Amino acid sequence: MKTEDFETLDVPGGSPVKMWTRGVPVEQEAKAQLASTAKMPFIYKHIAVMPDVHLGKGSTIGSVIPTLGAVIPAAVGVDIGCGMMAAKTTLTANDLPDNLGPLRSAIEKAIPHGLSPKTRSFKGRDAGSWENPPSAVDAAWMTLKNEFDEICLKTPKLRHTNNYKHLGTLGTGNHFIEVCLDEEGAVWFMLHSGSRGVGNAIGSHFIEQAKQDMRTHIANLPDQDLAYLKEGTQHYDDYVQAVGWAQKFARINREVMMQNLIAAVRTVIRKPFETHVEAVNCHHNYVQKETHFGREVLVTRKGAVSARKGELGIIPGSMGAKSYIVRGKGNEESFQSCSHGAGRTMSRNEAKRRFSLEDQVRATQGVECRKDAAVIDEIPMAYKDIDKVMEAQRDLVEVVHTLKQVVCVKG
């Protein structure tokens, strides 16, 4: 591979940082955060950085961190297993109703999301939870329950998290459900969510556990969020099991939501249709064992997607922008990874300060979605240009389908 496909940030006393960021802005704070992580002694080869890179909590979003003999819980973060699912249908643009409002309403009623009482379909304290989970949630939970019980024996406080009632729910923030059209007018369903409250609890617990385990060494770390768990310790083994379970929860969470999304659409569109013609379900916040450069290592992808040769992935744009179904090229220098989206160029507070409701309405013209002050932080202008992001990683993935949303439900 030509070295000019990426830029290398040399870190004195640390591993190199290889960045697929040509043509896209990278904040200095993100570079400094990457350099801190690169100084950890167990980094394998180098850190790979995707074009949607930006400053994150714990570690830099858009980074791929391979490690030997240790794991950094804060690098994985608390939104464990967050990722995307997309399914192509046999519907076309002509099958969609002229008024998409009822379709959005049906989806909002079928899948708990957000915290606003305006959209909840039941009475309860948390509009993002089920009050009475449907049978599909019961069946899915049974595939998770036994291992969760085992994990709770080691970490009892996880028992009281919102786990079962969050399965098959969307969450808040940048999580979303969309109805999209591809370049040929085929209808796709796409959604973005993770392991919800229980994943947050698992991540938070082990981040603190790592800091406690390193209380005599934490002053020597470049950042206390780089506290790590060493392989061979009980806490390391407990974390690996719990994080693996949370990633499984996240994947199943998306599958249950997709089932409910399809059922909701069928109540509005009476024409028979099939789904999962081309289905993709991929994490972009996770850790797993992989083999790279002939050695088995732990790979943490913080806002990055696996892009093995021939593997399908999803790179969503911002609300109102294009998204992509991609096929990996198996680029080993990136640890066979690609970006997980467009990447923010400013904080949520900055977006709310800089843009108005009128800007939000204008930027989402043609999309049936919420257009209120509460979602200004998700305005497309708060994100990098998705076309430039895709150009910067042309040696990592190839585009299979280009999607444009027509309905968007935000968390």
By annotation, the residues acting in catalysis are 340
Tokens of 319: 């609300």
244 vs 146: CA distance, rounded Å: 14
Place of tokens 């969609």: 96
CA separation, residue 2 to residues 6, 25, 294, 296, 333 (Å): 8, 22, 21, 25, 10
Cβ–Cβ contacts within 10 Å for residue 182, how many? 19
397 vs 200: CA distance, rounded Å: 30
